[in-house]
Amino acid sequence: MVDKQARLDAVFRALADPTRRAMLNDLAGGERSVGELAAPFQMSLAAASKHIKVLEGAGLIRRDVQGRTHVCRLDARPMHAGLEWIRHYERFWNQRLDALEALLQAEDARAAKARKPGKSR
């Protein structure tokens, strides 16, 4: 359980940063070099490499070295754990909201019945 929780924490930590989310978005279109990932942010290769290491640590990207070029590709499989975690709470809140809706509808029905003409109080 700890290992699964640690992996989920790493995924959410990686996704928490807008630069890393943008890098993942770029990688969804295909492989990119570290330089290509860094270019839209006007950051150094060292700064881009730090972001990439976080993404690698979460298992969200794979990096291959081709000569002097480091090529990154997306591996979205670890996001599935995050999606399952979110779905759990989606079901939780849907159940709560459905129960609230039923209570409000019952209250409306009681109020409508009490307002009918000819009823004494």
Q: What is the per-residue pLDDT for 12?
A: 95
- How does pLDDT run along the chain (121 residues), one tens digit per residue? 558 888 999 999 999 999 999 999 999 999 999 999 999 998 888 999 999 999 999 999 999 998 999 999 999 999 988 888 889 888 989 999 999 999 999 999 999 888 887 655 5
Between CA 96 and CA 59 the distance in angstroms is: 34
Tallying the residues shown for the chain, one arrives at 121
Between CA 67 and CA 33 the distance in angstroms is: 12
48 CB-near residues (< 8 Å, 6+ apart): 23, 34, 35, 37, 38, 41
Contact (CB, 8 A) for 45 and 34:
yes
Helix axes 45-57, 2-15, angle to 10 degrees: 150
